Every structure is written in C-alpha cells, then in structure tokens.
Amino acid sequence: MSLIDRVAQELSRLPGIGPKTALRLVYHLMKRPREDAVRLSQAIRELADRIRPCKRCGNFSEGELCLVCADHGRNASVICVVEEAYEVGAIERTGQYQGLYHVLGGHLSPLDGIGPHELNLQGLLDRISSSDGGVQEIIVATNASVEGEATAVYLEHVVRPLGPRVTRLARGIPVGSDLEYVDGSTIAEALTGRREM
Amino acid sequence: MRLSELQVRHFRNLAGQELDLPAEGVAIVGENAQGKTNLLEAIYYLETFRSFRAARDERLVSFGQEFFRVAGVLMEDGAGGVVGGGELVEVAAAFRARGKRKKVTLNGQEPQRLGDGLGRVCAVVFSPADVALVSEGPGGRRRFLDIVLSLNVPGYLPALQRFRHVLGQRNAALRDGRRLEAVHAWDQGLVESGGLVMEERLRWVERWAGEFSSHYRRISGVQPAVLRYQPGVKLGGARDREGIAAAFKEALGETRDRERRLGATVVGPQRDDLILTVTEAGEARDLREYGSGGQRRTAALALRLVEAATIREARRQEPIVLMDDVLAELDPGRSERVMALMEEEETGQVLLTAPKESDVRLRRDSLPRWRIRNGMVEC
C-alpha cells in the first residue's frame, strides 16, 4: 500500500469522512507547504500524548485535573452529570453554568453489555460522600433517549440516599423553532412540563 | 380513496406493467399461481411498506432481478366524503436487494422518516390466510392490533417502538443477572410506553367490539360472537394511561422473582391477546380452540370489516377493498351473507380476485373483468 493510501485509510476511519474525502484531504496536505502538515501531525501527536481523563470528573484534561475542576472559582456544591466528555463543552459554551461536572463515559445498555460497573459511577458517589455534605445538587444531564432516561433513573436511585437533591434537565421545544416542525413526543413532553407565566 | 394508476416492476412474478384502474374497481380472474395475490400484495405494500403476507422484502424481488418498485396514484376523498374527489397523491416504494435499501416517496419527495409515509394509502386486505388471525397464537393478533393502531392512532407507533426498545434492554439486564436497581432503572420507560400501548389497544377493542359482534352475527346467520381484550397485565379496572401505568408498575413488583428466574419480563403488552368467543348452548367457547373452519373465517372477516371501519373513522377515507379469493371455504349460505354484507359496508373501490368467473358475484356483475396470466394482466 502506498503512503498516500495509508494516510487516506487512517483519515477515513474518522467520523464523517469517507474514502473520497480522505483522499481529497491527503492531496490538499501535499499541495500545502510542508510546515502545515508537520504542524498538524505535531498537534495530533500532542493530543494523543497529553490529553487524558481528568482524575476527578473524567472530562478531557491536559493535567491531573481538568480546567473546570482546577478552577477554584467554580461552585463545588453542584455537579452536572453527562454521558460523554464532549458534552461538557456543549454546556460550557453556554456560559450559564458555574458548577462542576462528572462524565459517566456512556449510558446503561445491557444489550451492549454495559451495566453500572462499566460506567464511571463509583467516582461520582465517592465525590459526594467525601465532600461531607458539600455537594448539594446533582443535575442529571444524560440524553433524552431510552438509555439516557434509564441511566438517569438509576443515578437518582443511588445518589439520593447520599443526601444531595437530584434534578433533571428540562425537555421541550428547541429555542427558535416552529411548533409545526417539532415532533409529537417532544410537544407532549413540553405540554407536561409547561410552567406558569 | 381510489387507486387510479398502478405501476409494478419486478415484484414477485409481476414483471412490469402500468395499469389504469376503473373507479368502481375490478375483478381479477386467473388460475392458481398466476399472480392474483401478488398484485394485491403490491398495492397494499404502498400502505405499510411491508408485505401483508409477512414476507421479507428480499423475497418480493422477482427471481434474478436486483430491485422491485411499486407506485400508485391515488385520489383521496374530498370534503363531505366524495369518494375520490379530493387531492391526488402519488406513493412509490422501491427496494434494492443489494444493501437492502428501501426508498419511499410521497409525491416524489422522500419523507423525513419512513414512518411519515405510512398509511397514506387506505386499503384493507381480505385474505384466506386471515384465518390464522383466529386459529393461531396471540402473536398474530397483536400484530393485527399493532398495524391497525399504528396506521390510525397518532403516537401509537413511536410508543410501540419505544416499548420494544426498553423491553429488549430490560430483558438483557435480567438475563445478565444484573442487580435489582440496574433492572428497575428500565421500569419507568417500560411502564410509560407500555401503558400507552395498552391504553390504545383497550380503547380500540371497546370502541369496536359491538360492531364485531353484529358483523359476525350477520355472516353466521344466528350466532353472536364476542371480541375481548386480554391485557398482559392485571389492570384491575384501570382504564386511563396513568391507571394502566400504575397497574403495570405494581405487576412488575409482584413478578420480581419469576422474571429473575426466567430472565425475561413476564408482564406487559408483549403478553396481550384478543379473545374471540362464540356462545353455544349457553357457554362461551374460544374460537381458537373450538371454532370450526367456517366460524374462524367468519371471525377473521369481521375483524377486517372492523379494520375498514377504523380507517373510515380515523382517516376519513373510504378504504380500498382488496379481496383475495374471499369466498373459499365458506358454505353457500355464508357466502351469500358475506357478499350481502360487503355490498352494504364496503362501498368504495373494490379489487377482488377469484379463480373462476362464477365466483365473482359482487356488485351484481357490474365490475369490469381482467384476466391475469403469468404475472401479466390482460385488461
């Protein structure tokens, strides 16, 4: 296999990139100055070497602790639980949340052999118990899928006995969307979860 | 609703043909194995995008071909119920064997989800195979309910899909011997989706049980028959979604040991059934166990008539009636009464098949006759 094919094959393993796009990317890299490709390869190398899960919350991190956990200005009494580390970024970009995170690394899915022990759950329970009542609220931000819901129910079951209140992200109409194009079950959820104006 | 044009290509033994269908319908006469049922199957495929004979899509592709395609032009009923007086709709479905790719279009546009295209065609099939609905296990009757409700009750299909998904996960947790809490994490989702499924099934049976009985009596001549819903959860009189969900939840609690032993959820709509009985000598007898061939055929016909009535009420369309050799196995008295009832109830477009000219008796012989030979229709 030629070097060009080898690089294309590696690239085509990335999400959203098929064989044709992969080849296009390779040809593009070869047309650009050599430094561009070297810079990219170095960045990828560093990513692989230096990014690891935060020891406390499981978020992407360059050091022992991620930037959120290391920030003493954050509100340590609230922990938001998400399925995947990239979801931390989605919430961070809102700029509306000042608490900490905990990344489960997935959701319950017995059909795929994933039970509570396969998730980063014990870490969360340890954080709560070792805080001596410091953690007052757990926000469950698992996805609104069948698996995300079951994971939320399980979380509530194991967290509540430890003391903190357990809340769930609200569900409903996406901001800026037309009611006409929202699917029926979302509208039904939004109706159930409506609030006083 | 009326089917005015039909195009079929490489569907079973139908090689390829374009047909213009008469407004009142047509009688298709042909010997066995010429393609009569295949033609009705192709039309009904446009309603559910599956075979009504429960055949896999790969099996529908003509031998030695790569794909099949069926397309129909339909005239919806207009305001005030003028049959065929409304909008024109073109529904097409194609399936390519390689990669098992199915493509559905409505007026040339692919709907966002396949489910959005379901039920645009309003048709009911009356088939000799329907007898299995009555004589075989509860799975077939649940499938009947699921198809009727998915096509006619908004929200039923998503709830059913969600229920099956949760049930699969919960059973896997039970099989793996997961801890109690890891199993019960699925209960809420199971009870919510399953509660909706059971509520709609119960409501449908209650709405149509009376009609079922009277259709059965009309065909049989004397006997009354009863259609009853037997839920897979003891409902204890619960009728609304919350009540049913609560009963379901309680039943899950009561069966904890058993489901753990069996490694599967033992209560819920996956155990539902429809019970069909006739009263003989003052005693209710289950048609599944004690019914004669004719009684079972009669009950199956009555179920299909109720299916047609559901379409009329829910979708406000006069269904296209697809009758496949429907008089087979019925005694002369019953045949006469079936025909009389069909004349009265089903006033829309009729496509009926028969092996002999003499079996075509609907609409006082006014239906045009087509012959079918070797998968080709001769108009």
What pLDDT digit, counting tens, does each position of B43-87 carry? 999 999 999 998 999 999 999 999 999 999 999 988 776 777 788
Best of B118, B165, B169 to mutate (most A CBs within 10 Å, chain A): B169
Chain A contacts of B170, Cβ < 8 Å?
110
Q: Which residue of B has its CA nearest to A115?
A: B182
Out of A79-83, B181-185, B277-281, give the one with best mean pLDDT.
A79-83
Average pLDDT (A83-112) is: 96
**pLDDT beyond 90 at A177:** no
Amino acid in position A134: G
Q: Do residue A149 and residue B181 have CB atoms under 8 angstroms apart? A: no
Domain assignment of residue A37, yes or no:
yes
**pLDDT beyond 80 at A50:** yes
Task: Give the domain extent around A129.
Answer: 73-168
Q: Give the pLDDT of residue B293.
A: 87
Domain assignment of residue A18, yes or no:
yes
The DSSP bridge pattern shows strands B350-354 and B320-324 to be parallel
For chain B, the average pLDDT equals 92
Looking up residue A37, the CATH number of its domain turns out to be: 1.10.8.420
Rounded to whole angstroms, the Cα distance separating B179 from B364 reads 68
Looking up residue A101, the CATH number of its domain turns out to be: 3.40.1360.10
To the nearest whole Å, the CA of B230 is away from the closest chain A CA by 27
To the nearest whole Å, the CA of A77 is away from the closest chain B CA by 26
Domain assignment of residue A60, yes or no:
no
Number of Cβ within a 10 Å radius of residue A129: 12
User: A65 pLDDT band (50/70/90 cuts)?
Assistant: very high
Rounded to whole angstroms, the Cα distance separating A24 from A33 reads 16
Domain assignment of residue A175, yes or no:
no
Across the interface, which of A111, A113, A150 has its CB nearest the CB of B185?
A: A150
Q: Give the pLDDT of residue B93.
A: 97
Measured torsion, CA atoms of residues B320, B322, B328, B332, in degrees rounded to the nearest 10: 20
User: A162 pLDDT band (50/70/90 cuts)?
Assistant: very high
Dihedral sign from CA coordinates of A98, A104, A110, A112: positive
The DSSP bridge pattern shows strands A75-82 and A99-103 to be parallel
pTM reported for the whole predicted model = 0.88
Q: Which residue of A has its CA nearest to B180?
A: A154
**pLDDT beyond 70 at A180:** yes
Q: What is the pLDDT of residues B296-353, one digit of tens each?
A: 999 999 999 999 999 999 999 999 999 998 877 778 888 888 888 888 888 889 999 9
What domains are there in chain B, each with its CATH number? 1-122+320-379 (3.40.50.300)
Amino acid in position B241: R
Of B227, B55, B26, B221, give the one whose Cα is nearest residue B129. Answer: B55
Q: Which residue of A has its CA nearest to B162?
A: A146
Best of A146, A149, A187 to mutate (most B CBs within 10 Å, chain B): A146
Q: Which residue of B has its CA nearest to A156?
A: B185
Domain assignment of residue A186, yes or no:
no
**pLDDT beyond 80 at B217:** yes
> A145 and A83, same structural domain?
yes
Q: Give the pLDDT of residue B364.
A: 65
Q: Give the pLDDT of residue B376.
A: 92
Of B366, B363, B300, B298, give the one whose Cα is nearest residue B333. Answer: B298
The first and second tokens of residue B348, run together, are 């829309």
**pLDDT beyond 80 at B359:** no
> A114 and A155, same structural domain?
yes
Chain B contacts of A116, Cβ < 8 Å?
178-179, 181-182
Q: Give the pLDDT of residue B346.
A: 84
- Write down the ipTM of this complex: 0.79
Q: Give the pLDDT of residue B223.
A: 76
Domain assignment of residue A178, yes or no:
no
Of B282, B299, B283, B281, give the one whose Cα is nearest residue B291. Answer: B299
Pick the more confident residue, A195 or B161.
Answer: B161
Q: Do residue B185 and residue A151 have CB atoms under 8 angstroms apart? A: yes
**pLDDT beyond 70 at B205:** yes
Across the interface, which of B169, B176, B179 has its CB nearest the CB of A150?
A: B169
Domain assignment of residue A103, yes or no:
yes
Number of domains in chain A: 2
> A93 and A18, same structural domain?
no
The angle at the Cα of B267, spanning B261 to B269, to the nearest 5 degrees, equals 145
DSSP string for B143-166: HHHHHHHHHHSTTHHHHHHHHHHH
Q: Which residue of A has its CA nearest to B184?
A: A154
Q: Do residue A110 and residue B165 have CB atoms under 8 angstroms apart? A: no
**pLDDT beyond 80 at B365:** no
Enclosing H/E stretch for A63 = none
> A41 and A128, same structural domain?
no
> A89 and A135, same structural domain?
yes
Domain assignment of residue A163, yes or no:
yes
**pLDDT beyond 90 at B116:** no
